[in-house]
Structure 1
Amino acid sequence: MASEEKRIEDELSYPILLSERVRSAVDEAESFKLECSEVGKQVDRLSQMLRTVVRFATTAPFLYERPIRRIVAEVSKNLERALTLVRKCKRQSVLRRVVTITSAHDFRKLFNFLESSVGDMKWLLSIFDPDSGGNNGIVLSLAPIASNDPILSWVWSFIATIQMGQLPDRVEAANELASLAQDNDRNKKIIVDEGGVSPLLKLLKEGSSPDAQIAAATALYNLASDQEKVRTIVNEVGVPAIVLVLGDSPMKVQSRVATLVARMAEHDSVAQEDFARENVIRPLVTLLSFETFVEDRKIELGKQSIHSLVQINKEMEKSTLTKSKPSSNSRESNFTPYSNSYSSSSYAYYAEGSSRGGHNHRKERENEKPHVKLQLKVSCAEALWMLARGSVLNSRRITETKGLLCLAKLVEKEQGELQFNCLMTIMEITVAAESNADLRRAAFKTNSPAAKAVVDQLLRLIKDVDSPTLQIPAIRSVGSLARTFPARETWVIGPLVTQLSHKNLDMATEAAISLGKFACPDNFLCMEHSKTIIEFNAIPPLMKLLRGNEHSQLHGLTLLCYLALHSGNTNALEPTRVLTALEGADRSALPQHPKLRELVAKAIYHLNLYHTGGHSQRLTYVP
């Protein structure tokens, strides 16, 4: 750390001083004069190259210091060896010469050390001189100091080129680093340890060319494979730079940067928080909503009178000019009930956001190829998914930007990766809402068009799409929202009960988990929901679920207990059959789940108490 704190000029002054001392010692040598003379020649070459490096160091606007410090430290060690050996050849007493025996072998070893230092300095100088690189300015030769690890030489060369080279060479070097980082974790560690993150961020932020930004973003993406490396990018003040580029860049660049945001948020909660603090969610939602509402707007405009169109234009102009951020309550009032058309103020919001998020490239974006537009949306949806995962605050921010309505629309219209990423974002938001009553009330109140649009699409996936990959997240989302549905919303429960008999055991188990959230005591309407679940004939498929694996048994048994406790005196529960099932439940799982054991005991006690003809001797419960 001490050497890192010194100025590079101070680092270079020490070996230059050593070389002068060696030259003086060579002039004073009395023995091995030929060998000492050869040492002097090697040291003179090193001294000349060191002085050349000093000139570069003091004049270059940007200097990559890492290889300089490593190589200069090794040169200094070898110059110290030379000084020690040459001084032994100075005139001295017979006794001193006997004690300090110098041999030709010592000089041969020293020559090897000095030749390595000369090779290192030649390599170092080639980095500063693009014309000597031999491959478009990138030095691909190996420094002797890194002969046992050629990757180190390449990393040094690529980083130096990114920091000090011409634009085409910088792009190529960034691509080379991206390729190295993709190969293995060791390469990633070398790149990070040798200071590669800062030059890549600089290249990304400069905006010198889209190719350069894409190369830099790709390299950073490949590096950001774990928390430690992501934290390095964060510590290099990378988050503000990334958000800045995302806000105003060509679409291809935005797509790659959005993927980088997703990768960093996935691996590090600090990055996740920093991105939200830098307000990355708004441009992501804006880019995701690009052209999403165009067709709906055309339909709506086609039905308007001339007077209405004039009024809408005035509203859009007023919305665009307004810079103050509205409160969440005022934003909610902008919506009309969910249908295939949207209010003028909502459309104005998206129009304003589209012009804000990269106005310099708006025309380029409109003329971009469809697959590029699609990839951008896929990347933005993935970024929102990772930002929302496990974060109540970020989930709230997405809902405050009216992201829910956009996500619901894309789940309805799109397929493949974009649909899946949007659905997973919705799932993370609903999970956050399940754990936070304020978010649940703000984003999923019953009169919210955005919330209704989301629920409509979740139920459509559960009922009409034969894909567990999509249905399971949809089922989880509905379960997370269980406490938001009033008792009269029985249409939400029916599709979940249907999935209890699904041939895919995971699907059936997820349905049981979600229904359990409707029927559990934490739900204020658990009595009403339990009766509705029973009325939808949930008991027969639930009995079959008890014959599945341990996971399905656990959740099936939990739901069955809730239904038994909250069913009242109705015989629709088939109390005798349920009591038999509870008593015959696999006892091997109960000792591992004491809460479930207690729940089963309560359910059996309740059935014995309220339904005549039932009896139990295997489990007892004393309230």
Structure 2
Amino acid sequence: MMKSPKLEEERRLEEELLIPILMGEHVIKLAEEAKSSKVECRELAKKVEVLCNSLRGVVRVVSGNHQSLNERPIRRMVKELLKNLEKTLALVRRCKHQVGVGVLKHVLTIRSTGDFRKVWNLLESSNGDMMWLLSIFESRGTNIALSPITNNDPILAWVWTYIYTLQLGNPNDCADAATELGALAQITDRNRFIIMEEGGVLPLLKVLKDSAFPDCQVAAANALANVVSDDQQKIVGFLLNNLAVPVIVQVLSDAVFRVRVSVANLVSAMADQEPLAREEFIKANVTKPLVSLLSIDTVLAEPIAARNGIHSVLQNLSEADPDPDGSSGRGREADQSPELRNDVKVSCAKALWKLSKGCLLACKKITETKGLLCLAKIVGSESGELRLNCLMAVMEIAAVAESNVELRRGALKSTAPASKAVLNQLLRVIRQENDSSLLIPAIKSIGSLARNFPGKVPHVLGPLVTHLGNKDMNVVSEVIIALVKFVCVENYNCVDHSKVILELDGIPKLMILLKINGRQQVYGLKLLCYLTLNVGNSKVLEQERVLSTLDKLGHLVLAQNPDLKELFTKAIHHLTLYQPGVQFHRQPLVYGL
């Protein structure tokens, strides 16, 4: 009959503990047979006997515990203990024979006294480690103290103690231990790696999964989020390899509201660090609880479902959590204050934002359900962090759609109801808001969808052109980048869009910006070149002295951006075709480069 891996693991640890016990008994036997330094050997034997008794106590705890205890501290201490016992054994062996007389005996006795003192101190240290373990087991992890082996690294002792508390402590102590681990993780990268390497991640995950106490779950989720923050792909990978994603999604679906806030933040932290985590979460259908929780206070009309019949209605209903309040099997949470409900929505919106970043699978899943419509509604009706997170999610979905024809022409086509709702809210933000943190994602989203718009869309381009006069140069740069996407040659309607920009007096605004050195200047010249190629026969270009501007700024810009050389060459050549005679009076800008 095969033994389970868990039992095999415990057996191996018990065997590892048996080795120093047997070695200790051998030391005691040799000490009793010593012919020289008998007193010192007897004292060593007593110390080794105490140590063996402590080891046996550890064995009893390990073998009698119903769950696997963290083995890292035990194995490390046993490894150090074996080294110390080997030194003790070598010293005792030297005392098996009678030492000579005279000066040699005196010299050897002095040397042996120093050796005995060193070995005694080593055994004292190892016994201190064993006593520390026993005290931790007895107090169920609540006895915060340093073991001798961690005197130079107290973080290690704290991490070990908190991990044992997670495994052995009562719910209150367990919540405190998870909180302390989370606090340590916030301090340094080293602390985060120590928590993982010393076996702290899986106990936290177990508390998150198994605990019937929301305080413990909240503390565990917060701690895990702190552990995986700040470019910790290795730790996120460890969680993925240990099947953390299904556990996290299940808790997000079942737990009470305040737990869901922390778990959604954990989803965000993992998705932010590792692209593979995004795909794993989407495969585990994390969008179902996230979108359902995000829409708890939002009425979503789904005309497309009604038009497609009962099958679509049922399909959309299946994507919604039938119990968003977490009352199924858990009891309704007493405190569902407006603040708590808002916190849930904020955290879920952030999770959708982080999941959507560069992940086609996530974007498809969100747009296939009511997720996109929900984001649009909240952008239009809410404020603060919730609105911003939803805008950021829309921005990431649009960015993915920009490079994916199927997504862009499918769920995000301009005639789709959800896409229409999103567009209306994006334009509303661009027209009405002054906050750059809101303006920039809205402008980027419009730019990413530039190839979706038909030829004449002054209602879309008008708000963008207006912001060419914004005082915030970061906003201006994003506007210019977005307009470039409307007028570049890859856009089928680039000529029509260019004409609209001219009609909206975009050229004069752009020419003013080109006088200011900065990031917007390079993008502005690129936009000017595309406008020249598309509507080079316009009198506005001649009136605004566009050719002169290209001449003036060309050398400086092209020196730093040689990839624009071909575009500049074409633009200048095109202008000379519509401004006869001008080529005889200009410096050879591009051709001489």
TM-score clears 0.5: yes
Q: Which moved more, 1:201-210 or 1:167-176?
A: 167-176
User: Does 2:401 correspond to 1:430?
Assistant: no
Q: Which amino acid aligns with 1:43?
A: V
Residue in structure 2 matching 1:193, options 191, 197, 209: 197
- Paired position in structure 1 for 2:121: 112
User: Does 2:393 correspond to 1:445?
Assistant: no
Q: Which amino acid aligns with 2:171?
A: L
The alpha-carbon distance between structure 1 residues 588 and 5, as it changes in their structure 2 partners (threshold 3 A), is farther
Q: Distance in 1 between matches of 2:156 and 2:277?
A: 28
Residue in structure 1 matching 2:496, options 528, 531, 537: 528
Q: Which moved more, 1:463-472 or 1:359-368?
A: 359-368
SS in 2 for 1:589: helix
- Paired position in structure 1 for 2:186: 182
Residues 165-186 of structure 1, C-alpha deviations (whole Å, 9 max, x = no match): 3322222211221222223222
The alpha-carbon distance between structure 1 residues 81 and 90, as it changes in their structure 2 partners (threshold 3 A), is same
- Paired position in structure 2 for 1:619: 589
User: Does 2:445 correspond to 1:477?
Assistant: yes
CA apart distance, 1:475? 0.9
Q: Which moved more, 1:175-184 or 1:42-51?
A: 175-184
Residue in structure 2 matching 1:253, options 259, 277, 297: 259
- Paired position in structure 2 for 1:328: none
User: Does 2:320 correspond to 1:353?
Assistant: yes
Q: Quick check: 1:487–1:525 contact (8 Å CA) kept in 2?
A: yes
- Paired position in structure 1 for 2:269: 263
CA apart distance, 1:364? 2.6
Residue in structure 1 matching 2:57, options 40, 52, 57: 52
The alpha-carbon distance between structure 1 residues 431 and 598, as it changes in their structure 2 partners (threshold 3 A), is same
Q: Distance in 2 between matches of 1:267 and 1:332?
A: 37
Q: Which amino acid aligns with 2:336?
A: E
TM-score by length of 2: 0.91
Note the 1:147-226 alignment, pairs <5 A. 147-225=151-229, 226=232
Give percent identity, aligned residues only.
49
Q: Quick check: 1:197–1:236 contact (8 Å CA) kept in 2?
A: no
- Paired position in structure 2 for 1:394: 362
Q: Distance in 2 between matches of 1:16 and 1:401?
A: 63
Q: Distance in 1 between matches of 2:44 and 2:328?
A: 62
Q: Quick check: 2:327–2:333 contact (8 Å CA) kept in 1?
A: no
CA apart distance, 1:56? 1.5
Q: Distance in 1 between matches of 2:235 and 2:264?
A: 18
Q: Distance in 1 between matches of 2:517 and 2:444?
A: 20
CA apart distance, 1:21? 0.5
Unmatched 5+ residue regions in structure 2?
A: 1-8
Q: Distance in 2 between matches of 1:439 and 1:362?
A: 39
The alpha-carbon distance between structure 1 residues 351 and 411, as it changes in their structure 2 partners (threshold 3 A), is farther
CA apart distance, 1:82? 1.6
Q: Distance in 1 between matches of 2:474 and 2:154?
A: 50
CA apart distance, 1:376? 0.8
Q: Quick check: 2:542–2:579 contact (8 Å CA) kept in 1?
A: no
Q: Which amino acid aligns with 1:190?
A: I
Q: Which amino acid aligns with 2:58?
A: V
CA apart distance, 1:92? 4.7
- Paired position in structure 2 for 1:325: none
Note the 1:463-502 alignment, pairs <5 A. 463-502=431-470
CA apart distance, 1:597? 2.4
Q: Which amino acid aligns with 2:203?
A: P
CA apart distance, 1:517? 0.7
Q: Which moved more, 1:502-511 or 1:400-409?
A: 502-511
Q: Quick check: 2:379–2:425 contact (8 Å CA) kept in 1?
A: yes
- Paired position in structure 1 for 2:91: 85
Q: Quick check: 2:550–2:572 contact (8 Å CA) kept in 1?
A: yes
- Paired position in structure 2 for 1:608: 576
Q: Which moved more, 1:97-106 or 1:18-27?
A: 97-106
Residue in structure 2 matching 1:242, options 240, 245, 248: 248
- Paired position in structure 1 for 2:19: 14
The alpha-carbon distance between structure 1 residues 361 and 475, as it changes in their structure 2 partners (threshold 3 A), is farther
Q: Distance in 2 between matches of 1:347 and 1:510?
A: 41
Residue in structure 1 matching 2:532, options 546, 549, 564: 564
- Paired position in structure 1 for 2:348: 380
- Paired position in structure 2 for 1:322: none
Q: Distance in 1 between matches of 2:491 and 2:437?
A: 28
Residues 107-150 of structure 1, C-alpha deviations (whole Å, 9 max, x = no match): 111211111112111111112212xx6xxx51212111111112
CA apart distance, 1:23? 1.4
The alpha-carbon distance between structure 1 residues 41 and 576, as it changes in their structure 2 partners (threshold 3 A), is closer
CA apart distance, 1:598? 2.0
Residues 231-262 of structure 1, C-alpha deviations (whole Å, 9 max, x = no match): 22223322221111111110111110100111
* Count of matched residue pairs: 574
Q: Quick check: 1:576–1:614 contact (8 Å CA) kept in 2?
A: no
The alpha-carbon distance between structure 1 residues 112 and 362, as it changes in their structure 2 partners (threshold 3 A), is closer
User: Does 2:338 correspond to 1:334?
Assistant: no
CA apart distance, 1:571? 2.6
Q: Which amino acid aligns with 1:227?
A: Q
Q: Which amino acid aligns with 1:184?
A: T
User: Does 2:130 correspond to 1:121?
Assistant: yes
Q: Quick check: 1:509–1:545 contact (8 Å CA) kept in 2?
A: no
CA apart distance, 1:228? 2.3
- Paired position in structure 1 for 2:385: 417
Say what the alpha-carbon RMSD is for the aligned residues. 2.7
Q: Distance in 2 between matches of 1:105 and 1:503?
A: 78
Unmatched 5+ residue regions in structure 1?
A: 298-330, 338-342
- Paired position in structure 2 for 1:285: 291
Q: Distance in 2 between matches of 1:448 and 1:419?
A: 22
Note the 1:584-599 alignment, pairs <5 A. 584-599=552-567
Q: Distance in 2 between matches of 1:532 and 1:565?
A: 15
- Paired position in structure 1 for 2:4: none
Residues 303-353 of structure 1, C-alpha deviations (whole Å, 9 max, x = no match): xxxxxxxxxxxxxxxxxxxxxxxxxxxx9831679xxxxx99779946961
CA apart distance, 1:585? 1.9
The alpha-carbon distance between structure 1 residues 554 and 279, as it changes in their structure 2 partners (threshold 3 A), is same
Q: Quick check: 1:462–1:495 contact (8 Å CA) kept in 2?
A: yes
CA apart distance, 1:219? 1.0
Q: Quick check: 2:268–2:354 contact (8 Å CA) kept in 1?
A: yes
- Paired position in structure 2 for 1:71: 77
Q: Quick check: 1:513–1:555 contact (8 Å CA) kept in 2?
A: yes
SS in 2 for 1:241: helix
Q: Distance in 2 between matches of 1:577 and 1:126?
A: 84
Q: Which amino acid aligns with 1:410?
A: I
Q: Which amino acid aligns with 2:80?
A: E
Q: Distance in 2 between matches of 1:75 and 1:555?
A: 67
SS in 2 for 1:353: coil
- Paired position in structure 2 for 1:28: 33
Q: Quick check: 2:255–2:330 contact (8 Å CA) kept in 1?
A: no
SS in 2 for 1:7: helix
* Poorly superposed stretches of 4+, deviation over 4 Å: 92-95, 97-102, 343-348, 356-359
Residues 251-292 of structure 1, C-alpha deviations (whole Å, 9 max, x = no match): 111110100111111111222222222221222111111121
Residues 371-419 of structure 1, C-alpha deviations (whole Å, 9 max, x = no match): 1111111111111111111222221221112211100101111111111
The alpha-carbon distance between structure 1 residues 194 and 38, as it changes in their structure 2 partners (threshold 3 A), is same
SS in 2 for 1:443: coil
The alpha-carbon distance between structure 1 residues 93 and 351, as it changes in their structure 2 partners (threshold 3 A), is closer
- Paired position in structure 1 for 2:6: none
Residues 414-468 of structure 1, C-alpha deviations (whole Å, 9 max, x = no match): 1111110100100011111111111101121122111011111111111111111
